[in-house]
Amino acid sequence: MPELPEVETVARALRPHLTGRRITRVEVFSPKMREPLTPLMEADLPGRTVLAVRRRGRYLLLDLDDGRTLLAHLGMSGVIRLEGAEVPRRKHEHVFLFFEEDLIFRFECPRRFSVLKICSPKCPGEDPPELATLGVEPLSEAFDAEYFFRRSRGRTGPLKVFLMNNEIVTGVGNIYATEALFAAGLRPTRQAGSLSRKECGMLVTAVRQVLRNAIAAGGTTIHDYRHVDGSEGKFEQELRVYGRAGQPCEVCGTPIRTVRLGGRSSAFCPHCQK
């Protein structure tokens, strides 16, 4: 599933190509999605210019010159590609946004869980109302030890589920929560509210480091995620616990174990993580 680093990678790849470019045509090949694509066809997009390409949590946002924002969420397995018309349409590419100079923003979604919709923020460039409940960005200054300490007080649920709560901090999904907890030496099953200030600081640092490393590596290619140019992310080579159940911990040699939390499998080292 594309997480924050993957969406950030997509945003960075699209930015130089789409900023300042005008949409010339929209083609929806198959409007049946989690949210139907019909409104997109009626949104009067041709003629609009993209002013900015940005990311918020796991959402990709294209701000348009009429104050509206095109919001994309890749769901479980969505892929965005930027290619010319010479490449034939793939089976699950449901939307083409044509840009000037024969550039096509292609939205592929085999399982139809992705979202592509037009939103109207109160002020141009702000987050659309659809994203009002999102918590702080993990790479922003607002996400610090004090914030995590304060928000986690009284929380009796597992730390990993708390860390993956988008209303607390947005965009930390299963892979990166698992890796950050290992890096911080904290067990996923710990009660979120039991962390000391110091432990909150270690976890915040670990989350930021893991995300930065993943962005630098171009994300993680697990399941269906690909870059806009079709290349693959390299971060899976750096995974230390995720997907390594039964293998020895690279620090202490203890076999990595898994526990099921919030419906997701969670890998951890029973020796290194307290």
Examine the residue annotation and report whether 3 is marked as an active-site residue of this protein.
yes
Q: Which of residues 230-249 bind Zn ion (CB under 5 A)?
A: 249
Stretch of 5-13, 29-37, 52-60, 265-273 lying at the interface with Zn ion (CB under 5 A): 265-273
Does 251 bind Zn ion (CB under 5 A)? Our answer is: yes
Does 269 bind Zn ion (CB under 5 A)? Our answer is: yes
- What does DSSP assign to residue 126? S
C-alpha span between 197 and 147 (Å, rounded)? 10
Among 34, 90, 150, 271, binds Zn ion (CB under 5 A): 271
- Residue 11 or 272 with smaller CB distance to Zn ion: 272
Q: Which of residues 59-88 bind Zn ion (CB under 5 A)?
A: none
Q: How many residues does the chain have?
A: 274
Examine the residue annotation and report whether 2 is marked as an active-site residue of this protein.
yes
Does 186 bind Zn ion (CB under 5 A)? Our answer is: no
Q: Choosing from 3, 6, 179, 199, which is the catalytic residue?
A: 3
Does 267 bind Zn ion (CB under 5 A)? Our answer is: no
Contacts with Zn ion by CB under 5 A lie at 249, 251-252, 254, 269, 271-272
